[in-house]
A and B are shown apart, each in its own frame.
Chain A
C-alpha cells in the first residue's frame, strides 16, 4: 500500500489517499498544500497487521513521528518505506532515503535549529505575563473548546485505544465542555504529548475553534529540550523522555 495525498474539497486542501495498485498512482498529488502529517494512519487498527510493506509520503515532522511510534513499540520500521519530501517557499523537494534511519542526519540538523525554530512571539508574550494574566489568557482560549476531540483524532501521537478522557472509573477529566473541564482536558493533552509532539500542526488545523494548541506543545518541547536535551523523534531507539531518567536530572524546585 502507498499512503499519499489526493485533491480535497477545495483547491487548497488535500486529503489522504490509500492506493493498492500501480494504476491508481496517477490519482496521487504532491504539492505545497500537502502539509498533513499522515503517519497516524499507520497505527489505525489492522493496517500493518498483514506485515506487508507500506510506503508513505512524509515531511521531516512525519519522519520523526515514525521514530516515536517505533520507539514506543507501535510499529516495526522494517515495514515502512518513506517517500520523503519537504516544502520550502511553496516548492516541494524530494528527500534522499527510504528507511527511517537514513534520515538521521537530517533530523540531527533539525534538532540543532530547534531552539530558534521553537521561538514564537506569542509564546514569549505569554511567558512575560503574570500567572493571573496567563490564566485569563488560557481561560479565554479554552472556554471555546467544545470537546470534539478532533485534536486527539488528528494527532499521530494520540493512538491510545482508550484515552484517559474516555475513562469514567474514576472520571479524571470533566466530560462536559464547561471551561473547567476544557482546562483539564487541554492540560492533560499537552502533558501526554510532552516530549512526543513533533509540531506537525495536525491538531491546530483540526481544531474548529482555533485554539493555539501547538503553542502549548511548543512550550513543552522547549522544556524537555532545555531540561533533558530531549528532541522528540531522533531515532527509533530513542528512550521516551518521561519513561526514562538520569540520576542527576536537575531539581531546583524540590524543597
Chain B
C-alpha cells in the first residue's frame, strides 16, 4: 500500500458520558484522528448489536462502543445491561470470524476528554495496521453485482 490507509471507524456513544467526553476533547482543543464518525445515543442500553452489523454492512473497518463507567449510568443500569449483551455478542462475532480487534468497547466519562482523544488515536492506528476489512467488503461487493439467472 503506497498511500496511508485511512480506516473508517464508527463510534456509538451514549450522550451523557462518552459524548460529553468527546465534547470536552473538542473544547479542550485536543487533536484526534478524523477517521471516527460519532453516533450519539441516549444510553449504552440503547446500542443494539444490530448497529454493529449495520456499520459493518455499510463498510466500516472498525467500531467503538462506549458509555458511562459502571455505576455512573444516567438511567442507573443501562450500561450493566449493555455489558452483558456485549459480552455475549463479542463472543459470537469472534466465533463467526469477525475479529474482536475491529470491535472495541470502552467506558469514557464526561470528564475524560483526554482518554477519548487518546483512544480515538490508538484505535485508528490499530485498525490502520489491520488494514481494510477485506473479507466483509468482498461480501458487500457481491451484493452490488447485477443479478444473474
Q: Which residues of A contact B (CB under 8 A)?
A: 126-127, 129, 131-139, 164, 172-174, 176, 178-181, 183-184, 186-188, 190-191, 194-195, 216, 219-220, 223-224, 227-228, 241-247, 249-251, 253-255
Contact = CB atoms under 8 A, between A and B. Distances in A.
Contacts of B83: 245, 249, 251, 254
Contacts of A136: 97, 135
A139 B91 CA distance: 17
Task: Indicate the size class of the contact surface on chain B.
Answer: 35 or more
Interface string B15-44: 000000000000000000000000000000
Contacts of B57: 174, 180, 184
B92 A135 contact: no
Contacts of B50: 164, 172, 188
Given A191-B92, A220-B91, A245 B77 contact: yes
B88 A254 contact: no
B75 to A, nearest CB: 13
Contacts of A228: 84
A32 to B, nearest CB: 32
Interface in B84-98: 84-98
B97 A137 contact: yes
Interface in B26-69: 49-50, 53-54, 57
Q: Choose among B77, B96, B104, B106 the residue with the greatest number of A CB atoms under 10 Å from its CB.
A: B96
B147 to A, nearest CB: 9
B95 A135 contact: no
Interface of B: 49-50, 53-54, 57, 70-71, 77, 80-81, 83-100, 104-107, 119, 135-136, 139-140, 142-143
A180 to B, nearest CB: 4
B88 A135 contact: no
A220 B89 CA distance: 9
B139 A180 contact: yes
A136 B104 CA distance: 22
B96 A174 contact: no
Q: Choose among B50, B54, B86, B106 the residue with the greatest number of A CB atoms under 10 Å from its CB.
A: B50
Given A137-B97, A180-B57, A216 B92 contact: yes
A253 B90 contact: yes
A244 B84 CA distance: 8
12 contacts: A138-B97, A172-B50, A180-B143, A187-B53, A187-B92, A188-B49, A224-B88, A227-B88, A242-B84, A242-B88, A243-B81, A255-B107
Nearest to B122: A255
Contact of A174 (B91, B107, B143): B143
B21 to A, nearest CB: 13
Contacts of B93: 187
Contacts of A224: 88
A145 B46 CA distance: 30
A74 B56 CA distance: 34
Given A188-B49, A216-B96, 16 more contacts: A126-B95, A139-B139, A180-B136, A180-B143, A183-B139, A190-B92, A194-B88, A216-B92, A219-B95, A224-B88, A227-B88, A242-B81, A242-B84, A246-B80, A249-B80, A255-B119
Given A180-B143, A255-B119, A220 B96 contact: no
A133 to B, nearest CB: 7
A181 B144 CA distance: 12
A210 to B, nearest CB: 18
A47 B13 CA distance: 44
Given A172-B50, A250-B87, A253-B100, A245 B81 contact: yes
